[in-house]
Structure 1
Amino acid sequence: MKPFVRIDKKDAALAMAHIYVGFAALALGGFAGLLQVLVRSGRFTLPAGIGYYQVLTVHGVLLGLVLTTFFILGFQHAAISRTAGTYSGKSRFMGWLGFWVMLLGTTMAAVMILLNEATVLYTFYAPLKAHWIFYLGLTFVVVGSWLGGAGMIMKYISWRKEHPGQPGPLLTFMSIINTVLWIVATIGVAGTVLFQLLPWSLGLVDRVDVLVSRTLFWYFGHPLVYFWLLPAYMAWYVIIPKIIGGKIFSDSLARLSFILFLLFSIPVGFHHQLVEPGIDAYWKFLQVTLTFMVVIPSLMTAFSLFATFEMYGRSKGATGLFGWFKKLPWGDARFTVPFIGMVAFIPAGAGGLINASNQMNQVVHNTIWVTGHFHLTLATSVVLTFFGIAYWLVPHLTGRILTKAMNKLAIVQAIVWAVGMSIMSGAMHAVGLLGAPRRSSYSTYGDAPQALDWIPYQIAQAIGGTILFMGIILVLYIFINLAFFAPKGEEEFPVGETADTAERTPMALENWRIWLTILAALILVAYTVPFIDMIQNAPPASKGYRMW
């Protein structure tokens, strides 16, 4: 039996600082989400003059941006420290510097939202305008994440120098892929904020080019989805095999799938803009094609995961086509909670194919179907996996243990979450097909003749949302217990080993010159000509700044 390996206490403190902020965002953003669905039901009115879209902005920013970014960076800091070794002083300094810059930016943006000076939703599209402090805060969040990412990359580079000719630890490699994806993707949102929205909010320019702004946002917005998803894949690929007592099916397959996600997740933003004028249909078609390429690493992941499960089951004596299913450790929350997230990704992925399809997107575009899809992907597949990670990561980092009582409660929490999300997201999908608009409250339906037909679905959303909020209360209780009150002890940071039958990992998979060159080429092909068209065909009077 291998000796227990604990992350260095200083690295653990860095990781936990990020995770504390993430769970604080979950508490506030979850409450805002509850208010949202209650208002949408038509049976509840917000008090004290609070606006529906103000609450919607709080919910989207805190859960879609703050919770995810802080938790992911905390998890990746811990993963790299665990698999590549203790951070150097420089790497740890960059991690803490990034944390404080991000926290400052988050506070600035949050204050403006709460003051109703930045009710612009989490997408902050122009011509909606926020206070300049909100945009500056977003800039700090992005820059802070780059600093934290730089600390991770520095550690990875030092490991490679110390181990020439060897592939980096799988969990570290995956973290670096996700960090590179984030850095490249956030160039778009940083560009639109720094050079368009911030000058506009400060009154330095009168107008902004909305098409350019939206394009830069979705250059970032779609890979943001994979920035959320890849840490869940890290757990599925590397952590889950260790938890169930099996081994990773293929190290090479895991690395290749992450490389493909990096290549095909960024140059695809136009599939969010299929109904927008100003973008030639050819370039939309190209990016839709590239979007469908991510199906390949997704199927590779599904194959690898279920191959791991079957290999484990067979090793325990399972027979028949699905006999291995019964052998899985269903009483272990570390496995069961992320597994529910995996299952949710099947309908979530199917919905994503519909959204990305030029023809079928016309049916669901700007309906609440999209919101339902969003809650299946991020709020179920990703978030449930994050909860499953937290149930062992938090006690590991704080020197405590996951008790039997908390383990049982964690499984209950996941079931509550799955039930609530099935009701809420199912109702969103169904009423979206009936044409119910996205991001609208009951009071904004006006005289829409079909609005009465939507009411039962809105009530179902409120019921599902209320159950989800109960799930949030449960997970916050478990988190507080594991961070502060659980018995002291040694909780494992599980890292899987590759199966003995797996092929040796080729070093070409870590040849960054190859993959970054291909990535740059794909981005240039997908965006250069469209951007030239947008600038050349801008209305002459606006000189590149137009308001629609």
Structure 2
Amino acid sequence: MMNAQISKVDKRDARLSMAYITVAFIALAVGGLMGLLQTLVRSGKLELPGGINYYEILTAHGVLLGLGLTTYFILGFQFAAVSRTAGTLSSKARLSGWIGFIVMVIGTIFATWMILTNKATVLYTFYAPLQAHFLFYLGLTLLIVGSWIACGAMIATYMRWRKQNPGKPSPLLCFMVVVNSLLWIVCTLGVAGEVLFQLLPWSLGLVDTVNVLVSRTLFWYFGHPLVYFWLLPAYMAWYVIIPKIIGGKIFSDSLARLVFILFLLFSIPVGFHHQLTEPGIDASWKFVQVVLTFMVIIPSLMTAFSMFATFEMFGRSKGAKGLFGWLKKLPWKDARFVVPFIGMVAFIPAGAGGIINASNQMDQVVHNTIWVTGHFHLTVATTVVLTFFGISYWLIPHLTGRVFTKAMNRLAIIQAICWTIGMAFMSGSMHLEGLLGAPRRTAFTTYGNAQQALDWIPYQVAQAIGGSILFLGIVLIIVIVINLAFFAPKGEQDFPIGEIAENAEKTPMVLENWKIWLTVLAALILIAYTVPFMDMIQNAPPGSKGFKLW
């Protein structure tokens, strides 16, 4: 059985969590508007007013949603999860959480200000030789440093629990938060190094050049595990929260912990599969990292097995018969279940697309086409974001002392339907247009020859339709969030934590032996990156050697 836990998040911790979540939804509103404008421009239905650049709104959309919405929501959710399962935060941990929040907000303001004033039109990946104002890079640095402070507070709370409960497995949800926090800290070392030692000095004029290959490698050392930093909080909800919502039990505590350990080990040393077409990296090292990338498929399949085992066990306990009879027993009128479930289903084609992107031969067909953008919209903007919405429907009222009413439940299901339809238009047309060779990132419908431009127009119109429906979905979720934060009836909303099934195997303590797992992680990173990174430095082109490498 799960360790004894308090039933409610402390009010002081709740205010901290809500601060992060509030900024997340502000980022969703602004970034979502930028996304709508993008689709209208690409379809030829809108011409931006003077002074506004397409690539400016493209950068704002990617940074505010890919880094802003996700990071703030994840940290807010994780603070609440730690407080709920490992006990109220200490005053030092809570203070660290607030310091991290303030540092992040200052950084976010700097970066957003530079983007919206067209001084940081460098796209989501901010690749050199595109150069932004130094305040953009400083803002990114502050965002990362602030998140480290916040993650440190969570890890310290976990360590306090372990010290007070020697020899016992930690609460599952708290364990998952620690894994995701460690993943974030390790992977952001890459982008922090890129920004601090390359892009920031370069934008300040302290150096004339940077090694572009080193820059991109450091970015993708961070860029791929970023996907799992987004995904693992959704997995937390699937593994721990959803079983309680449906009235079932967690299939296996041990399997869930092993899945998270495998994601920690195999999500970081795989960045080269985003650089398969780039020269300067030996093909053998690309092959090594592609193999490691495919290892992530294993915990994904384990998760699918575990979740559907949980659903079937619940259905059978309610008298379900036949192969799929248990499906009828699931709570299809409860938005807290339905919305994340749609995200789970979307992850099936999203995962298949990820396998294509990571495959050397198949990636050649879709690399740098809008197929990749469609893939991101399935993984992050559907699987992850819908699960975050589902979390919000019980988390926000729990933190604000209100209840999730039947009216808001109905509106939440309508919102999910809007999102699903809009994303079907958006992501589906992006995948199809990508197969026709349409490039990602560009605003020009006439890119390429005239016949290509004509072939792409129907798909771009479909994206505009999808973007419009998705923006309606954003309006609905903002309405729901404001209601749950300020206007819903006062009351007690449960923070659902599932219990482990009675016949589940005992959790082995080796899964919490961090000396083993962090050593293995460090070894995998060194194996995957040391030799190719040395090659990039030793064989740097003229003009980028010595100090100018950085």
TM-score (norm 1): 0.98
Whole-angstrom CA distance in 2 between matches of 1:318 and 1:542:
67
SS at match of 2:340: helix
> How is 1:530-545 mapped onto 2 (pairs within 5 angstroms)?
530-543=532-545
Are 2:283 and 1:281 equivalent residues in the alignment?
yes
Are 2:248 and 1:243 equivalent residues in the alignment?
no
SS at match of 1:278: coil
Structure 2 residue aligned with 1:76? 78
Q: Shift of residue 451 of structure 1?
A: 1.0
SS at match of 2:321: coil
Change over 3 Å in CA distance of 1:359–1:545 after alignment to 2: farther
Q: Shift of residue 48 of structure 1?
A: 2.8
Return the letter of the residue paired with 1:228. Answer: W
Structure 2 residue aligned with 1:326? 328
Structure 2 residue aligned with 1:311? 313
One of 449, 465, 468 as aligned partner of 1:466: 468
Q: C-alpha deviations, 1:27-64, integer Å up to 9, x for none? A: 00000000000000012101132110000001001000
> How is 1:149-548 mapped onto 2 (pairs within 5 angstroms)?
149-443=151-445, 445=447, 447-543=449-545
Change over 3 Å in CA distance of 1:545–1:439 after alignment to 2: farther
Contact 2:209/2:543 (8 A) holds in 1: no
Return the letter of the residue paired with 1:124. Answer: F
Contact 1:4/1:492 (8 A) holds in 2: no
SS at match of 1:344: helix
Return the letter of the residue paired with 1:87. Answer: L
Please identify, of 102-111 and 537-546, the stretch whose mean Cα deviation from structure 2 is larger.
Answer: 537-546
Whole-angstrom CA distance in 2 between matches of 1:3 and 1:144:
28
Contact 2:429/2:462 (8 A) holds in 1: yes
Change over 3 Å in CA distance of 1:196–1:448 after alignment to 2: farther
Contact 1:207/1:545 (8 A) holds in 2: no
Contact 1:338/1:384 (8 A) holds in 2: yes
Whole-angstrom CA distance in 1 between matches of 2:106 and 2:133:
16
Whole-angstrom CA distance in 2 between matches of 1:498 and 1:175:
18
- What are the ranges of 5 or more consecutive residues in structure 2 without an aligned counterpart? none
Whole-angstrom CA distance in 2 between matches of 1:507 and 1:268:
28
Structure 2 residue aligned with 1:111? 113
Return the letter of the residue paired with 1:525. Answer: I
Whole-angstrom CA distance in 2 between matches of 1:214 and 1:162:
44
Whole-angstrom CA distance in 2 between matches of 1:49 and 1:139:
28
Structure 1 residue aligned with 2:51? 49
Give aligned-pair identity as a percent: 75
Whole-angstrom CA distance in 2 between matches of 1:541 and 1:393:
53
Whole-angstrom CA distance in 2 between matches of 1:230 and 1:439:
27
Q: Shift of residue 543 of structure 1?
A: 1.2
Please identify, of 113-122 and 537-546, the stretch whose mean Cα deviation from structure 2 is larger.
Answer: 537-546
Whole-angstrom CA distance in 2 between matches of 1:368 and 1:321:
39
Contact 1:208/1:545 (8 A) holds in 2: no
Whole-angstrom CA distance in 1 between matches of 2:282 and 2:488:
58
One of 10, 18, 26 as aligned partner of 1:16: 18
SS at match of 1:360: helix
Change over 3 Å in CA distance of 1:58–1:361 after alignment to 2: same
Whole-angstrom CA distance in 1 between matches of 2:115 and 2:264:
32
Q: Shift of residue 4 of structure 1?
A: 8.5
Whole-angstrom CA distance in 2 between matches of 1:285 and 1:545:
31
Contact 1:7/1:78 (8 A) holds in 2: yes
SS at match of 1:17: helix
Cα RMSD over matched residues? 1.2
Q: C-alpha deviations, 1:123-150, integer Å up to 9, x for none? A: 1000000000000000000000000001
Return the letter of the residue paired with 1:90. Answer: K
Q: C-alpha deviations, 1:316-354, integer Å up to 9, x for none? A: 000100000000000000000000000000000000000
Are 2:137 and 1:135 equivalent residues in the alignment?
yes
Q: Shift of residue 446 of structure 1?
A: 5.7
Contact 1:99/1:148 (8 A) holds in 2: yes
Contact 1:539/1:546 (8 A) holds in 2: no
Change over 3 Å in CA distance of 1:444–1:20 after alignment to 2: farther
SS at match of 1:442: coil
Contact 1:355/1:364 (8 A) holds in 2: yes
SS at match of 2:360: coil
Contact 2:445/2:457 (8 A) holds in 1: no
TM-score (norm 2): 0.98
Contact 1:535/1:544 (8 A) holds in 2: no
Q: Shift of residue 447 of structure 1?
A: 4.2
Q: Shift of residue 444 of structure 1?
A: 5.8
Contact 2:5/2:84 (8 A) holds in 1: no
Whole-angstrom CA distance in 1 between matches of 2:45 and 2:334:
40
Structure 2 residue aligned with 1:87? 89
- What are the ranges of 5 or more consecutive residues in structure 1 without an aligned counterpart? none
Whole-angstrom CA distance in 2 between matches of 1:55 and 1:152:
34
Q: C-alpha deviations, 1:232-270, integer Å up to 9, x for none? A: 000000000000000000000000000000000000000
Whole-angstrom CA distance in 2 between matches of 1:325 and 1:219:
40
Q: C-alpha deviations, 1:92-151, integer Å up to 9, x for none? A: 011010000000000000001111000001110000000000000000000000000010
Return the letter of the residue paired with 2:138. Answer: L
